[in-house]
Amino acid sequence: MSENSIALIFAFPLFGAVLCALVGRKSRNLCHPIAVASLAGALWGGIETLRRVIASEANEVSYYFGGWNADAYPRGVGIEFRADYLGTLIMLVVVGVAFLVAIYSKLPVAEETPEKEGSFYTLFLLQVTGLAGICLTGDAFNLYVLIEVAALTGYGLIAMGSARAAAATFNYVILGTIGASFYLLGVGYVYMKTGTLNMVGIQEVITADGLADSAAMQVAFVFICLGVLIKMAFFPFHAWLPNAYFHAPTATSSLLAPLVTKVMIYVMIRMTLTVFGVDFSFENTLWTEVIPWLVVIAIVCAATMALAQRDVKKMLTYLIVAEVGYMVGGIWVYNYYGFIGSIFHVISDACMTLCLFLGVGIILRKRKTTHFDGLRGLFRKMPFTMGGFFVGGFSIIGLPPTCGFFSKWYLITGGMLAERWEYMVALMFSTMVMVVLFFRLIERIHLAVTESGENIGHGHGDLALPDSETFFDEAHWTMLVPLLLSASVVLVIGIFNQDIVNLIQDFLEPFDLPKGTDR
Amino acid sequence: MRAVSEADSSIMFGEDGLLNELLVERFNYCVYVVLLLIGLYAMIAKNNLIKKLIGMSIFQTAIILFYVSIGVKEGGTIPIYVAEHDPHGNHAEHAAHPEEANATEGSEENATTATASHEADHGHHAPRSLTDEETSGYANPLPHVLMLTAIVVGVATLGVALALTQRIYRAYGTIEEDAVLAAILAEDAATVIPDVLSTKPKRAKAKSRKAKQA
C-alpha cells in the first residue's frame, strides 16, 4: 500500500469523480460523502508520501506508472512522478485545502447549484487530481496535460454560477488557452533541442551539451515563462481572474482561489530550478533585471485596485493578484532567502486565502451580499466565523504569529540581501494597503457604521440594529468547522514555521543559490 | 553556417541564403508562426465570440503543425519493428540455426541451457533501446503521439467554450462582446445592494467602478 502512495493520491479523487458521475443522477446526496471520503484517502496518500520522502536518502521518491522504471529503461521512457520536498509540500496543501472545501461545500452546493451535485463533485475531484498531479509530475508534457485538466474542470466549476459567471469564464477560457498553449510551444522547443521530456533528463542534457546559449532554448524559456505568468494571473495578464472568481459559486471560488495561482507559481519554481537550472534561468537572461520591476508594478497596481473595491469578495480577488506578485518577486530577486520566502508563501498564502474565502462564503450565505454595506453588526451574530475570518486577514497583513508574517519575513530578507530595494518598498506598500483594507472591514463588521462613516448606533454601535438582527446566529457547523480548522492551520504553520522551512532548505540546498549580496 | 560570399545578394537569394532557409528549409515553421499570429489576433481583437473561438482553433492547430514538423524525417517510415528485430522473428532464426547458436554460447554447455541463456541475453520480454543504425529509417513518433493528446485537449476546450457561448447567448441575447459588456454594465447599474440592517432609506448606488472592470 505504502509504496504506491503517490499513485493513491490520484487514484482516490479520480475514481471518486467517476463514482460521482455515475451515482450523481440517481442519488444526489451520495456525492458529498464520496467527495469527502476520496479526498480523505488522497490526504492519507499525501501524508504517507511526505513520510516516505523524509525517510528516503535522496529526499525524493519516484514512481513510474505502468512499471517503466528507471532501472530497466533509460530515463525519459515512461512517465515519472517524482515527489521531492517542494512538490510534496504543495501537493499536501492542495489536497488539504480541497478536503476542507469539500466538507464546507455541502450547503453552498445544494443551495447555489441545486440538482447539479453530481457534475459539481465530479469536476471538483478532477480539479484536485489535476492540481495534485501538477505538483508531482516529473514530465514536462504531462505537466501540460495536467494544467489543462485543472483548467478545463475549473472553467466548468466557475461557469456553474450565474450568467455573469459564464461571461467571465469565457475570458478565462481565452486567456487560459493562450497561456497553456505558450507553455506547450515552449515544451516543443525544449524537446527539439534535448530529445527528452523528463524534467531531470532535460536538465542533464542542458548541462551535458552546453545548451545555455542556444537560441531555441532561450525561446523555449520565454514561451514557458510567459505561459505560466498568464496562467498565474500576473498583473498585466490578470484580467480574467477577478471576475471569474467573484461570480463563481462559493464552493468553487473557495477551492480555486487558494490553489490555482499558487500551483502555477510552483510550476515557475520547478521550471527555473529543476528543468532549466539556476545558471540558465538566472545567470544568462535579462529577466532577473526586468521581472522585479514588473513585480513592483504588479504589486502596487493590484493593491491599489483592491483598495478601490467596495465588495469583500472582489477585494480578495485583487489581493490574490497582489500576492502572485509577491511570490514571483521572491523567485526573481534570485536569492536563497527569496526562494524560501516564495515557497513558504505558496503554502501560507493558500491557507490564508482559503480562510478568507470560506469566511466570505458564510457572509454571502447569511447576508445574500458581500458588499461592504452588508457587513454591519456581523460580529455579534457570528463571532466564531468572524474570528476565523480575522485570523486570515491578519495573516494577509503579516501579523505574528500567523504564517503570513514568516513568509513575508523571508521574502523581505531575500529582497534585502539581493539589494532589490524596489521590491522591498513594494512589499511594504502592499502591507500598508492591506492594513487599511482589513481594519476598514473590521470596523464595519464590529460596529454599525454606514458607508459614509456615520455611526448609526449611538454609543456602543449596535443599539440601532433591529432586534431581529442582534441575536446569536452562527453559521452551520459544516461551514464553520472547516473555517476554524483553516484558521488554526494558519496559526499552526506560523508557530511551527521552522519545521517547514527546514524541509524547504533541504530542497534548496543542492541548487547553490546566492545567499548574500555577492551576486 | 551561412556562407557570406562576395555578392551581397547571395545572403538573401543564394544557395545558403536567408530566403532559401526561410522558404525551403524552414517553410513549415514560417507557416506555423503565421497561423499562430492569425489565431492570436483573432482571439484578442475580434468582437464576435464565435470568431474568437475560430481564432483559438487556428492557434492550437498552429502548435500541432509545429510539433508534427519536429517529428518529420525525409524518407522516414512508421516506427514498427521490422522482422529481424521482432522477438518472434528471432525464434524463427534460432530454429533455423540451432548449432550456430550453440557454438557462440560455448561448447561445454548442452544445447538446452545454451538456448535459454541466449534468449535471456536477447531479452525477449525486456525490450532494449534500438541502436542509431536500427532507427535510422524511422520517423520519431513521439511528437505525433503528444499531438493526439493536444488535439483531445483542444476539442475539449472548444466544447466548453461553445457551451459557454450558448449560455451567454441565452442570457444576453447576443454573442457580440461589446453588446454583452453593455448588458452587464446596465445590469450592474440597476443592482441595489440589499442592506438587511438599513434603518433609513438606502440610496441606490451604481457600482460604476466595479462595472468598469467587468
Which residues in chain A touch residue B207, judged by CB atoms under 8 angstroms apart?
A: 310-311
Tell me, yes or no, whether A336 lies in a domain.
yes
Report whether A163 contacts A170 (CB < 8 A): no
CA pair distance A178, A283, nearest whole angstrom? 28
- Measured between beta carbons, the chain A residues lying within 8 angstroms of B40 are 178
User: Among all residues of chain B, which has the CA nearest to that of A239?
Assistant: B213
For residues B204 and B190, give the distance between their C-alpha atoms in angstroms, rounded to a whole number: 8
- The rounded distance, in Å, linking the Cα atoms of A392 and A403 is 10
- Residue A171, chain B, CB below 8 Å: the answer is no
Looking up cell 535510422 gives B136
Do the interacting molecules here have an ipTM over 0.85? yes
> How close is the nearest chain B Cα to the Cα of A170, in Å?
7
- Do the chains contact at B150 and A374, CB–CB below 8 Å? no
Residue A479 lies in a domain: yes
Answer whether residue A238 is part of any domain: no
Q: Is residue A414 part of a domain?
A: yes
Model pLDDT for residues A402-457, shown as the tens digit of each residue: 899 999 999 999 999 988 899 999 999 999 999 999 988 888 887 754 444 455 44
Q: How many domains does chain A fold into?
A: 1
User: Which amino acid is located at A246 in the chain?
Assistant: F
The percentage of chain A sitting over the pLDDT mark of 70, rounded to a whole number, equals 94
Distance from CA of B119 to the nearest CA of A (A): 17
Tell me the pLDDT tens digit for each residue of A350-409.
999 999 999 999 999 888 888 887 787 788 788 898 999 999 999 999 888 889 999 999
Residue A177 reports pLDDT greater than 90: yes
A contacts of B202 (beta carbons < 8 Å): 373
Report the pLDDT value the prediction gives residue A490, as an integer from 0 to 100.
Answer: 93
Nearest to B126 among A72, A141, A197 (CB): A72
H helix runs in A418-455, sequence order: 421-446
Chain B's closest residue to A176, CA to CA, is B157
Average pLDDT taken over every residue of chain A: 87
As given in the structure block, the three cell numbers for residue A280 are 540558465
Q: Is A191 on the interface with B (CB under 8 A)?
A: yes
Q: Which of A128, A364, A126, A342 is nearest to A245 (CA)?
A: A364
Whether residue A12 has pLDDT greater than 90: yes
Residue of A nearest to B195 (CA): A374
The answer to whether residue A156 neighbours chain B at the CB level (below 8 Å) is yes
What digits encode the pLDDT tens for the residues B126-144? 566 677 777 777 888 888 8
In contact, A59 and A84? CB cutoff 8 Å: yes
- Cis status of the peptide bond prior to B201, with omega within 30 of 0: no
Chain A residues touching residue B213 (CB < 8 angstroms)? 242-243, 305
Residue of A nearest to B143 (CA): A188
Q: How far apart are CA A305 and CA A315, in angstroms?
A: 8
- Catalogue all structural domains in chain B, each as residue range(s) with its CATH number: 11-79+140-172 (1.10.287.3510), 80-129 (no CATH)
Instruction: Determine the residue of chain B that is closest to A448 in CA distance.
Output: B197
Q: Which domain holds residue A402?
A: 287-519
A245 found inside a domain: no
Most confident by average pLDDT, A284-288, B19-23, B115-119: A284-288
User: Could you tell me which residue, A70 or A102, shows the higher pLDDT?
Assistant: A102
Q: What is the pLDDT of residues B69-98, one digit of tens each?
A: 888 877 777 777 664 554 544 444 444 444
Element (H, E) at A64: strand A60-64
Amino acid in position A400: P
**Domain-located, residue A9:** no
User: What pLDDT, on the 0 to 100 scale, is given for residue B19?
Assistant: 74
Contact residues on chain B for A248, CB-CB shorter than 8 A: none
The reported pLDDT for the residue numbered A24 is 83
